[in-house]
Every structure is written in structure tokens, then in C-alpha cells.
Copies of this chain bind each other. A is one copy, B any other.
Amino acid sequence: MKQKDKSTEAKILEAANKVFVEKGLDGARMQEIADEAKINKSLLHYYYRSKDKLFSEVFQKVIKTFLPDTVKIFDSEKSLFEKIETFTLEYITLLEKNPFLPMFVLHELSQKPIKITDTFSGFFDNLKQNQFEILKFQIEKEIQNGIIRPIEFDQLIVNIMSLCIFPFAAKPILMKLFFGDNKNQYKNFADKRKIEVADFVIHSIKVKN
């Protein structure tokens, strides 16, 4: 092994992340997390007082992955079309590495917004206004310049998010509906989305001459 043995705490967080993300808060079992981390179940409670506390730690980290710092991509001098291409490619690639993330985040936030909200509502506040202002301004400018057709900022962003995220959340359905549970066919489809999404969006908003 190249790596030194991870600390118990790190092993727990890693195992908890895996089990919670795959099974959800309700579906996850402390025993399964302990097994995954190859430690005793009591140690979970030694490091994290309760299942809820442990979940909270995991969820806070996960949400930061799911809603990444878009500043790096959007706050640049690139054209809107380039930004859309870069973002969709990078975000879909990120989700490919964490395919259960969309389902997990969406489900937990829809289930018990109360429990979870407090733990990271501050995170949302930061993201909300700061990140989008520059992009919003750029879009309005490109509309005025006749580069893209008029479209509401909210609708466009939600459209892009939908096209990126939904196929991951709906993978089992899509597998059945379109690909007869054939993994290769699905992989082929999924690969193409890395350019399809930007392609679809840009075709929709770009003003032709």
C-alpha cells in the first residue's frame, strides 16, 4: 500500500458517504456503515454522537460537490457559448464519477428540508446571489447584442441543470425505456451527452444570420 492507514475518522466518513449516498438516510444502517469501514459499530457513536450527526457531516460535504463553485467557470472572459460548453462537459464528467449524487441530494432535500436545511442554509445563501450575477449580466448583454434570442435567466439555467442532472437520477428508467437494460447501449448514450447538452442548448438560444 502506498497510502498510510487512514485515520478511523476518515474511514468512517468515507464509509458513511458511500452507504448514505446509495441508500439514503432512512435506508442506511449504522451496522452497514461500520462493516464498510471495517470497524465496530460502537465506534461510530464514539466519533459521531448519532446517526443524524453523522449524516449531517456527510451531507454537508456532498452538497458542495453537487453544487460546485461555478465561479471558476462562469467568472471568466470566455463567450457564453464557450462557458456553456465547458460547464456541461465538466459537470457531466463530475456526475459520471458520482452517479448516485443527484438522486441522493434530490431525495434528501425533498424528504426533510427541515432537518437538513439548518446544516447548510448558509451555503445556499452564499451561492445564491454572488455566483449568478456575472452570468446573468452576460446573458442580458448577449440578448441585447442579438447573439442569443430573448430568454429568461432562470429558465435557461434550470434547462441546463435539467439536461445535465436528470439522466443520472433517471438512469434505471432510461435503461428500461430505451436500452432494454443493455449497459453498452446506455454507456454510448451517456457519453454523447457530454456534448449533446451544450449542443442542444446553444442550438436553442443562438440567433442565426
Contact = CB atoms under 8 A, between A and B. Distances in A.
Interface in A148-206: 149, 151-152, 154-155, 157-159, 161-163, 165-167, 169-174, 176-178, 180, 189, 192-193, 196, 200-201, 203-205
Given A124-B176, A167-B158, A203 B200 contact: no
A48 interface: no
B111 A149 contact: no
Given A155-B189, A205-B203, A111 B170 contact: no
A127 B203 contact: no
Nearest to A112: B27
Interface residues of A, number: 52
A201 B162 CA distance: 13
Interface in A66-90: 67
A155 B193 contact: yes
Contact of A200 (B24, B27, B155, B196): B155
> Taking each of A173, A180, A203, which has the highest tally of chain B beta carbons within 10 Å of its own beta carbon?
A173
Given A27-B26, A163-B162, A169 B203 contact: no
Nearest to A176: B124
A161 B178 CA distance: 13
B27 A203 contact: no
Interface stretch (A7-15, A30-38, A49-57, A100-108): A100-108
A128 B24 contact: no
A27 to B, nearest CB: 4
A192 B152 contact: yes
B155 A165 contact: no
Nearest to A203: B204
A67 B174 CA distance: 12
A170 B149 CA distance: 26
Nearest to A158: B167
Contacts of A200: 151, 155, 159, 204
Q: Which 4 residue pairs across A and B have the least CB separation, nearest first?
A: A204-B204, A162-B166, A26-B26, A166-B166
